[in-house]
């Protein structure tokens, strides 16, 4: 892998694979933006990047199907599944994996009443941040060719 690429060019490709940002990769690898852009368009650099991506996918057992399944969890998430019938939020450990996959963050604040020796715990304030459904739907549609650009 990387035949005919210099070590510095391979480093640029590796840096590009971190975030797919040419500008940032060029800085990290010590290239000007225009040079980095030119190098990343070279067939040997494209091949190096493609092979690295295949290696990563293989090692992590990532397939297109698994990625689409994860997008589907976000896209088709039903907010009602995080609540009990009485309207209280379910504990995180009671959520199934398809529901918890759609939660991007949880903020828990302990609530107290009174002060000093009279201070007593009264409960929690829980905030759930849910993943962007539209972005997930857009990604699925793009993958399935449902949107014509």
109 and 127 share a domain? yes
Question: How big is the CA angle at 100 (ends 64 and 144), to the nearest 5 degrees?
Answer: 25
pLDDT at residue 76, rounded to an integer = 95
User: Domain residues for 108?
Assistant: 67-144
Residue in the block written with tokens 């975030």: 19
Per-residue pLDDT of the chain (149 residues; tens, 9 = 90+): 667 899 999 999 999 999 999 999 999 999 999 999 999 999 999 999 999 999 999 999 988 899 999 999 999 999 999 999 999 889 889 999 999 999 999 999 999 999 999 999 999 898 999 999 999 999 999 888 887 75
Provide the greatest CA pair distance for the chain: 74
User: Cα(123)–Cα(113) distance, rounded to whole angstroms?
Assistant: 10
Distances (CA, A) of 104 to 46, 89, 98, 101: 33, 16, 12, 7
55 and 88 share a domain? no
Residue at 149 is within a domain: no
11 and 51 share a domain? yes
Q: Of 52, 45, 32, which Cα lies nearest the Cα of 22? A: 32
86 and 139 share a domain? yes
Q: How many domains does the chain have?
A: 2
76 and 136 share a domain? yes
109 and 135 share a domain? yes
pLDDT at residue 2, rounded to an integer = 61
pTM for this prediction: 0.65
Q: Of 126, 72, 137, which Cα lies nearest the Cα of 99? A: 72
76 and 120 share a domain? yes
């Amino acid at each position: 892998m990387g035949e005919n690429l210099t070590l510095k060019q391979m480093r640029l490709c590796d840096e590009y694979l971190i975030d797919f940002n040419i500008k940032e990769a060029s800085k990290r690898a010590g290239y000007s933006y225009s040079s980095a852009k030119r190098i990343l368009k070279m067939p040997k650099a494209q091949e190096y990047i493609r092979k690295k991506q295949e290696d990563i996918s293989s090692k992590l057992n990532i397939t297109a199907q698994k990625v689409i399944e994860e997008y589907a969890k976000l896209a088709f998430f039903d907010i009602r599944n995080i609540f009990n019938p009485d309207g209280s939020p379910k504990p995180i450990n009671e959520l199934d994996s398809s529901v918890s996959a759609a939660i991007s963050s949880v903020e828990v604040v302990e609530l107290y009443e009174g002060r000093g020796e009279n201070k007593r715990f009264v409960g929690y304030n829980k905030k759930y941040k849910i993943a962007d459904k539209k972005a997930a739907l857009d990604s699925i549609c793009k993958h399935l060719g449902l949107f014509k650009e």
